[in-house]
A and B are shown apart, each in its own frame.
Chain A
Amino acid sequence: MDLGLDEQQEMLKNFAHDFLEKECPEELVRKMEEDDKGYEPDLWQKMAAQGWMGLIIPEEYGGTGMRITDLAVLLEEFGRFLVPGPFIPTVVLGGYPIMLAGSEEQKKQFLPKIASGELIMTMALTEPSAKWDADGVQLEAKAEGDGFVLNGTKLFVQDAHVTDYMVVAARTAKGKTPEEGITLLLVDSKSPGVKFEPLRTIAADKQCEVTFENVKVPKANVLGEAGKGWPIVEKTKLLATVAACAYLVGLSQQDFDITLNYAKERVQFGRPIGSFQAIQHKLADVVIDVDGSRFITYKAAWSLQEGEPDAELMASMAKAWCSDASRRVVAHGQQIHGGIGFTKEYKIQLYFRRQKWMELMWGDADYHRELVAQKLEV
């Protein structure tokens, strides 16, 4: 038992910290809010050169073959520096399900290109019903000739407009349960009939509405087995949930660091506001929220990595906790900053807005609270 980072993780964390501090400054984060693509191709290539896109991809497919806990450590730094762009969608929502369920040919086709930064991916899962569960998947895929034809709408699809391929969850059959009859398709984003419309969101990230109008997908692009895609989605959701937690840990830590610094420097009544217990006690509570988020996230990442029987429970516990805790962290951050925190010019708002985004992604606290409750049932 050891909750600390190992030597390799310590190196990864420190390197990522220094790299992102230099390569992903606040100006870039702000610029990408206004940018159509929402990411900087130069930075994307530099990150690929560090081996980050291939971090959890096995070496035989061009990756570095590291583990899920390592990815969590890296994503913590992404949260700290609010790295814009399709990193999580590509690595977690695109690469991971291919690692889990792809044919040898698909693995060879996709994974090395993901690792090298040539391929951007995402998963198109949620629809206008905005549900994370299997019955939220209603997009129709009709078998036709040597493939499928897609018709319908996906909503809240991260960075879809800049992707090369999407993993699309579609309904190919009406099963006895909502989980049956869902097929995952690797859809070329440039296919005729696919349209993207970026949504305007609180975090100025690039979630899209994606419409499919008679989009043809060859049978060879089925990921896993037709009609049996949902278990792959479930596993991907688990990693995506842990990834969201890791991002929130870094985001919370940085919001806290900025706020602590401000409390030491801001003088009112002739002394730093951080000398007042009203402020000190808020900050002490924030320490517990941030530290608690970190260790429950590490445990969730580790449980998933090791295939522990309680991996799902841990992921839900982590997301329920991190969603609520990170909201308390940024709320205290805003309050301690006072008026300046509400200005666009000052940096703390960047964290405040993005917290809400990640709080909602992959299930908010109540969604996961219910999943935890289900595990308590005999």
Chain B
Amino acid sequence: MDFRFAPEDEAFRREVRAWLKKNLPSDWEGHLRDESGWGFARGFARKLSERRWVAPQWPVEYGGLGLSHWQQLIYNEEMSYHRAPLGYIAIGVGWTGPTIIIYGTEEQKRQHLAGITAGETMWCQGFSEPNAGSDLASLQTRAVRDGDDYVINGQKIWTSGAHHADWMILLARTDAEAPKHKGISYFLLDMKSPGITVQPLIDVMDNHSFNQVFFENVRVPKSSLLGEENRGWYMATTTLDFERSSIGGAAGALRLLEDLAAYVNETPRNGGTLVGDQRVRWRLADAALEVELGRMLSYRVVSLQARGVVPNYESSTAKLYNTEMQLRLAHAGLEVLGLYGQLKPKSRRAQLRGRLERQYLWQTAMVVGGGTSEIQRNIIAMRGLGLPRG
């Protein structure tokens, strides 16, 4: 039991921090997901690649630095704390790459990995469908073998960044007769392929992040099949685990908490400042300890990984707790700001640059995306606790 980072890990943290200070504008507010935001994110990815920091956790031979689990956590924490725009590289680094490294052919590795680590290629994820959300395995998009190609027909939804992406990781049904988990294949799809239509799906934050993607007789060569045919579900659940273990998000919450603490110490109220208000004090005290707890649940996952243990339900506890905690924090922060809490960033009167309004909306999506809170609880109950399926 040791809660201290090793000196070399602390040094790495300082290095990342100094680099971010230099490479993010001093008034940087995070990825706003408007068109200029995507452009900036792309440029930022290129800058990261100069340090081999696009995917530093990947093995050196694939363009990473082979960072230790703890240094990867530190990297995640610093990126999250500084609101670094990783939207451009997130799917490629967190999903495509790790899956190709495990299941891909040498040719697929050669074709795809370098583009990701160079910050050149943007990937999107074609998993969810209108009728396959939490029940992902019931997806209906078809891939039918035709000579040396597969022909894709169907529709995906919630596809973040599809309108900028170069490639897509795609799950499609290759055997309609087999049980639902056993007829799905995993494809690497060039987004420039004829027959793909990308339609914007504007979110409640007025951002264009999501899309619907339609496939009409889209041909993909069979060399784009990842792993074996009909084994896609099992590869996808590997990548789902990668997403769930993408930890370090509590550091972003810590930043917001620091903003709020500064705000309540500076804002006049009843002859003193807002920090003298009992309700405000306790809300922030709770927020502070909830952030710390979220951190501990993430650190526990990394402790297991660092000891060579593959986390089981623990990743789900970290995802579930941290997303719900951040939603509570946004809610608490918004209430601390009172009427000002509702003001959007561009409002002249906005406090804390309208962050709370943004966070409150955004975190509502985070308890849904990447497996809803309810799905996480199912995983903990069934996979972690061995409770029978209902």
Contact = CB atoms under 8 A, between A and B. Distances in A.
B127 interface: no
Contacts of A299: 3, 292, 296
B166 interface: no
B390 A4 contact: no
Given A284-B377, A372-B285, A6 B321 contact: no
B385 A283 contact: yes
A1 B299 contact: yes
A287 interface: yes
Interface residues of B, number: 50
B5 to A, nearest CB: 5
Given A4-B303, A288-B297, A69 B385 contact: no
Interface in B252-296: 261-262, 264-265, 275, 281-282, 284-286, 288-289, 292-293, 296
B38 to A, nearest CB: 35
Nearest to B258: A376
A69 B1 CA distance: 8
Contacts of B265: 376-378
Interface stretch (A45-53, A162-170, A271-279): A271-279
A8 to B, nearest CB: 10
A292 interface: yes
A132 B255 CA distance: 33
A281 B388 contact: no
Query: How many interface residues does chain A have, given as a range?
Result: 35 or more
Given A288-B317, A370-B285, A373-B282, A296 B293 contact: yes
A277 B390 contact: yes
A295 B296 contact: yes
A295 B306 CA distance: 17
B300 A3 contact: yes
B102 interface: no
B79 to A, nearest CB: 18
B1 A298 contact: yes
Contacts of A292: 293, 296-297, 321
Given A292-B297, A377-B275, A372 B1 contact: no
A335 interface: no
A280 interface: yes
Given A260-B385, A298-B1, A277 B378 contact: yes
A280 B288 contact: no
A295 B388 CA distance: 28
B210 interface: no
Nearest to A377: B275
A1 B303 contact: yes
Given A3-B303, A292-B296, A377-B275, A274 B282 contact: no
10 contacts: A1-B4, A1-B70, A1-B299, A3-B296, A277-B374, A287-B317, A295-B293, A295-B296, A306-B3, A378-B265
A-B complex: 4 closest residue pairs judged by Cβ atoms: A280-B381, A373-B281, A284-B377, A295-B296
Interface of A: 1-6, 9, 69, 260, 263-264, 271-272, 274-277, 279-281, 283-285, 287-288, 291-292, 295-296, 298-299, 302-303, 306, 314, 317, 320-321, 366, 369-370, 372-373, 375-378
Interface of B: 1-6, 9, 70, 261-262, 264-265, 275, 281-282, 284-286, 288-289, 292-293, 296-297, 299-300, 302-304, 306-307, 313-314, 317, 320-321, 374, 376-378, 380-382, 384-390
